[in-house]
Amino acid sequence: MSSLHKNLSDYNLSNVPSAAGMRIAVVVSEWNTEITEALFTGLRDCLLDLGCSPSDILRKNVPGSFELPLGAQWMAETQEADAVVCLGCVIQGETRHFDFICSSVADGLMNLGIKFSIPFIFGVLTPNTMEQATDRAGGKHGNKGIEAAITAVKMIALRRELKKG
């Protein structure tokens, strides 16, 4: 889907389940802090808007995006979370470092979701430039943190629905 002229984070409250009673762990990368803090603000505000209690939003920081999967695993092991959201920003550089980090984080989070049977949400921006990151962290294309919050809430609601039978 092209994001050329779209705010991808627009949502209608009537189309998203309530987050009341949901416990959501959030792991935030300290690298590219101005971006990751904007992502967290979008996520937190969205979760509160959806009825999540502030005390049910559990945040911890890790040094960089590469550390997100291990931080997420520790949150899942210790916080009794319904979902774990990982927020980061890896900007393309002139080396292959970008490819290794992004692929490792995505694979790690996918494997954790399967291992723990709860959603591990990939809220990591992978832009080519800082301008693109800003556009997706509260700028003209919305806020990936909001999208991550909605994904977490929808996945928790789906799991609960399926468990009811």
Which pLDDT score, from 0 to 100, does residue 115 have? 97
Q: Can you give the pLDDT at residue 1?
A: 41
Question: What's residue 3's pLDDT?
Answer: 52
pLDDT digits (tens, 9 = 90+) for 3-29: 555 676 778 878 999 999 999 999 999
CATH fold of 39-164, please?
Answer: Rossmann fold (3.40.50)
How many Cβ atoms are within 10 Å of 4's Cβ, its own excluded?
7
b/e code 93-104 from CB counts within 10 Å (16+ = b): eeeeebeebbee
Which parts of the chain sit beneath pLDDT 70? 1-6, 8, 94-96
**Cβ neighbours for 122, distance < 8 A, ≥ 6 positions apart:** 86, 105, 106, 109, 148
Residue 6's pLDDT is: 67
Supply angle C-alpha 80, 41, 71, rounded to 5. Answer: 40
Residues involved in catalysis: 97
Q: What is the pLDDT of residue 5?
A: 56
Domain ranges of the chain: 39-164
Count Cα neighbours of 22 within 13 Å in the Cβ-side half-sphere.
32
Of 157, 86, 154, 74, residue with least CA distance to 120:
86
Residue 41 makes CB contacts below 8 A (sequence gap 6+) with 138, 143, 145
pLDDT at res. 145: 98
Tokens matching residue 88: 């980061």
